[in-house]
Amino acid sequence: MTVHFPFQNSYSALPDSFFARVAPTPVAAPRLIKLNRPLAVQLGLDPDGLEPPEGAEILAGKTVPAGADPIAMAYAGHQFGQFVPQLGDGRAVLLGEVIDKDGIRRDIQLKGSGPTPFSRRGDGRAALGPVLREYIVSEAMFALGIPTTRSLAAAVTGEHVIRETALPGAVLTRVASSHIRVGTFQFFAVRRDTDAIRRLADHVIARHYPELLGAERPYHALLGGVVARQADLVARWLLVGFIHGVMNTDNSSISGETIDYGPCAFMDAYNPSQVFSSIDEMGRYAYANQPRIALWNLTRLAECLLPLFSEDQEKAVAKAQDILGAFSDTFSDGYQAGLRKKIGLFTERDGDNALIQDLLDAMAKNQADFTLTFRKLGDAAGDPAADDARAQFMDPAAFDEWARRWHERTALEPQTAAERQAAMHAVNPMFIPRNHRVEAVIQAAVNDDDYTPFEEFVKVLAKPFEGQPDYAAYADPPLPEQRVLQTFCGT
């Protein structure tokens, strides 16, 4: 049986300067290690057809399915603040686009599928560890309700990739509402190709912001739309303790999805200056810096769009600044509203922000676990005798003082304790992909070819807001000797 991909490709119909046509490079002995069957169904693909042997060959890049028009996309980007005029898909190939069950166009891309004209000195391959990390974390983000690219499959190639040592190679099948980045605009801006910028902007509006099609100033509206989605996205990251790790402009999606999971991680103990990535020596992409960096990246996007705004440079800049000015309020509104929900408030009152800030300050000072403090606060809302939230604080008295004010505040609302607890448990996850667990799962797969821990972890993370008592250990923070302080790109 031949699996049918109902491709309807639009990006590869854009001008030749937007991409390079290149097929995946066949691999020796592909083996499918994970297929996301519900996602396959959502994409209109027959999951049985994606199973081995035929499915594995496609998902590892050994054969190209009918109707695919494989391309590597061109883009530039600021990496840690340094501009690189040409990056591009150096180890990824976009097979094509399908329209999913909700009518949304989705890219299907193979990551780690071999060299492309954009590979520079890279081998075009990915190692198994980072592929599993991206699978786990992207699917966990989806389950948490955060806009993200998704993972359709992971396959090992049967070949080794050479990093610091020889590691098993793997291919991730990534699904995104598109792979267009801030860096895609930068690629054309640095070449002063205004026609291409306009083509790209029109494509993006039609694809991601169709509600703006009739706008009087569609390119202004486009910048405003991306600003709003990125502000909302970063607020959501902060609300679950997520640190992207490499917020370069080439890893910043125009659709507002989280993209390019490299050395990302969730924090355990609350620490606003937390950094995990081994390559982020200056803390540029630290947890609390992420809103500022998102705005910095959006400012780079605005620069690219200036030629579409006005012939008059000064007017164009003034307009761009005006639009970028909305970031701060959109971010703060989303973040504060999210925090109010996290502590179980149904209404907004003067003093709420201070109450929340005092909790965060006490958490930072007392190395309280970010996820468990909020989750267990939900238990305390339901039953004042529940003291697991308190137990997260090195000095529990710091919590008691705060909790007294919190109970006073919640008492001003008519909701019952049970209602408050249910509302809090619906926004405060029990399970996040804790870094020490991610590492352990990767070690079992890479060292022992054992995917049982990976399977179980993915299953637990698919229901992050459910108690799942059988899997309670997955909610535990690391013991001191389990703590993983650094994450690596592995590229």
Nearer to Mg ion, 264 or 295 (CB): 264
Instruction: Map the footprint of ligand AMP across residues 107-126, applying CB under 6 A.
Output: 118-119, 122-125
Look at the block and give the residue holding tokens 């949304």.
Answer: 104
Cβ closer to ligand AMP: 179 or 220?
Answer: 179
Residue tagged active-site, from 89, 107, 232, 250: 250
Cα 267 to Cα 161: distance, rounded to the nearest angstrom: 30
Nearer Cβ to ligand AMP (36/113):
113
Please state the closest distance from residue 426 (CB atom) to ligand AMP, in A. 33
* Contacting residue, 36, 42, 251, 330, with Mg ion by CB under 5 A: 251
Q: Shortest gap between Cβ of 491 and ligand AMP (angstroms)?
A: 4
Kindly give, in sequence order, each residue whose CB lies less than 8 Å from that of residue 416, ignoring residues fewer than 6 positions away.
none
Least distance to ligand AMP, CB of residue 261, Å: 9
Does residue 489 interact with ligand AMP by CB under 6 A? Answer: yes
Show Cβ contacts of residue 386 under 8 Å, excluding neighbours closer than 6 positions.
376, 379, 380
Residue 89 or 232: the one with the smaller Cβ distance to ligand AMP is 89
Active site residue 250: yes
Phi, psi of 41 (to 5 degrees): -60, -45
Q: For the residues of 19-86, what is the DSSP string, one character each? A: EEE-PPPP-SS-EEEEE-HHHHHHTT--GGGGSTTHHHHHHTTSSPPTT---EEE---EEETTEEES-
Taking the least distance from each CB to Mg ion, the nearer of 259 and 368 is: 259
Q: Which stretch binds ligand AMP (CB under 6 A): 52-60, 244-252, 371-379, 411-419?
A: 244-252
Residue 45 interacting with ligand AMP (CB under 6 A): no
Rounded to the nearest 5°, which phi and psi values hold at 223?
A: -60, -45
Question: Tokens 């201070």 map to which residue?
Answer: 354
Please pick, from the candidates 30, 225, 245, 262, the single residue that binds ligand AMP as defined by CB under 6 A: 262
**Region near ligand AMP per CB under 6 A, out of 89-97, 203-211, 364-372, 433-441:** 89-97
Cα dihedral sign, 24-30-36-38: positive
51 lies in the site for ligand AMP, by CB under 6 A: no
444: Cβ–Cβ under 8 A, 6 or more apart, which residues?
Answer: 450, 451, 452, 453, 454
Q: Could you tell me the two tokens for 343?
A: 């502590």
**Which of 30, 61, 65, 88: binder of ligand AMP (CB under 6 A)?**
88
Q: How far is CA 107 from CA 94, 95, 177, 291, in A?
A: 7, 8, 6, 27
Give me the amino acid identity at 463. K
Residue ranges that bind Mg ion, judged by CB under 5 A: 251, 260
Active site residues: 250
Residue ranges that bind ligand AMP, judged by CB under 6 A: 87-91, 118-119, 122-125, 246, 250-251, 260, 262, 489, 491
